[in-house]
Amino acid sequence: MAGPSDRVLRLLSVLSTRPSWTNRELAERLEVTERTVRRDVARLRELGYGIESDAGPWGGYRLAAGTAMPPLSLDDDEALAVAVALREVALKGTLGSDQAALSALFKLQRLLPRRVADRLGRFADAFVHTPQGTPDPVSSGVLLELASACRYQERLRLAYRDRNDRQSTREVEPYRLVRTSNRWYLVALSAGEWRTFRADRVIEAHRTGSPARIADPPDAARMVADMLTSHYPVYATIYLPMSMGQAQQLIPPGSGVHEAESNGTRVTLGGTDIDALATRLLELATPLTVLAPDELRSALRERLQAQLAALTG
């Protein structure tokens, strides 16, 4: 005979399979009394699950939105699907500078049964990701520590390797993780100054247990973008007729500086020369307006006219 906890979880699973169930239907399905169903529904409500009920002989129970995030009950296929989706969101930087997906992914991976974890591993092995310019991969353990420290505002002790391959140990006040098109960056307060740290250069990261003292934080995504684009010899400013979120999916934070405008987004991005910028903008394959410089506008016009002539010639 199932215990109270198992029975409550089974009730939750049954409720999720249909829009509505009568008390009698639930009692027959679970092989318990209608009184037991009412008691278990009350227990689910105490745990934070929103369960609505209608009075009368034709009334019943149905799941609704709760007031808090309760525990979830997932079967093997659902757990695998959630883990894969979270990993894709984290790797692609869909949420910009938000590290919530990464933190949730590592929490879920720690709880996966061995049979599901093995399936997830086989699923990952079936895919090959093309190189995106990152010379050194970031270990999952390092990313977990960085994401957790940012989320819970704890000081970090980093073993870090700089661009000259010199190693040092430092304590930082972590603020945000920023995903660009090919790297993760940690934005943190170090020795009283806001800095960016490449996650693939972090050798070890450990939370100290001390609270981070964050005051007047910067726009993390813009700080990384400014750092990455500061060395380009030429820049382009374009207008995209889309929301900030859509523009950041097209041109990831760190590859450009995004500014919201009425009915669209202004983006500034750098390149090695006008020709390279023209190529980059054409590859976006979306309507846009070049605000500056004039040379880029002329280069794009010439390219498009040449392509049109080739198509109609």
What is the C-alpha to C-alpha distance for residues 193 and 172, in angstroms, rounded to an integer? 10
> Quick one: pLDDT at residue 289?
95
> Quick one: pLDDT at residue 287?
93
257: left (phi over 0), alpha (psi -120 to 50) or beta: beta
What is the C-alpha to C-alpha distance for residues 276 and 281, in angstroms, rounded to an integer? 9
Yes or no: say if 143 and 200 are a contact pair by the CB < 8 Å rule.
no
Q: Where are the domains of the chain?
A: 4-64, 76-125, 140-221, 231-312
> Quick one: pLDDT at residue 201?
92
* Tokens matching residue 23: 């008390």
Yes or no: say if 220 and 175 are a contact pair by the CB < 8 Å rule.
yes
CATH number belonging to domain 4-64: 1.10.10.10
Yes or no: say if 221 and 196 are a contact pair by the CB < 8 Å rule.
no
> Quick one: pLDDT at residue 204?
93
> Quick one: pLDDT at residue 245?
86
Q: Does domain 231-312 have CATH number 1.10.20?
A: no
> Quick one: pLDDT at residue 106?
67
pTM (predicted TM-score): 0.49
pLDDT tens across the length of the chain (313 residues): 456 677 887 888 788 777 778 888 888 888 899 899 999 988 888 877 888 887 766 667 888 765 455 566 677 777 777 777 777 666 655 444 446 666 677 667 767 777 777 776 665 555 444 444 444 567 767 877 888 888 778 899 999 998 888 999 999 999 998 877 667 889 999 988 999 999 989 999 998 888 898 888 998 888 887 887 777 889 899 999 999 889 988 887 767 888 889 899 999 988 889 999 999 999 999 999 999 999 999 999 999 888 888 887 6
CATH number belonging to domain 140-221: 2.30.30
